[in-house]
Amino acid sequence: MNCDCVLGGGRPVCMTRQCVTAASTLLQALDDSVDPCDDFYQYACGGWIKANTIPPGLSRWDTFGALRRKNQLVIKNLLGTYNNRPSNNPSLFN
């Protein structure tokens, strides 16, 4: 094998940082207190719904909205850092 893998049940299982992070994100979205045969939507999404309430003023909220808000905060922080630099060194990356 040419990857960071372990054998799980006879199949390779990716153990790279990216794979573990993705698996963790998926597991956090689950609500394992619900039987998937009774309410699959609640089982599959209940953890995310509990952890991510709809922000005031919005009618919906999803992972793309959360990512968009996070990116806006990063950009705002970067622009604020840029605007607060002395005028003789305007470089954002110095």
Q: What is the pTM of this model?
A: 0.60
Sorted by sequence, the CB contacts under 8 Å of residue 33 that are 6+ apart come out as 46
Write the pLDDT tens digit of every residue in 32-61: 999 999 999 999 999 999 999 999 999 999
* DSSP codes, 17-82: HHHHHHHHHHHHH--TTS-TTT-HHHHHHHHHHHH-PPPTT-S---HHHHHHHHHHHHHHHHHHHH
Query: In this prediction, what percent of the chain has a pLDDT beyond 90?
Result: 61
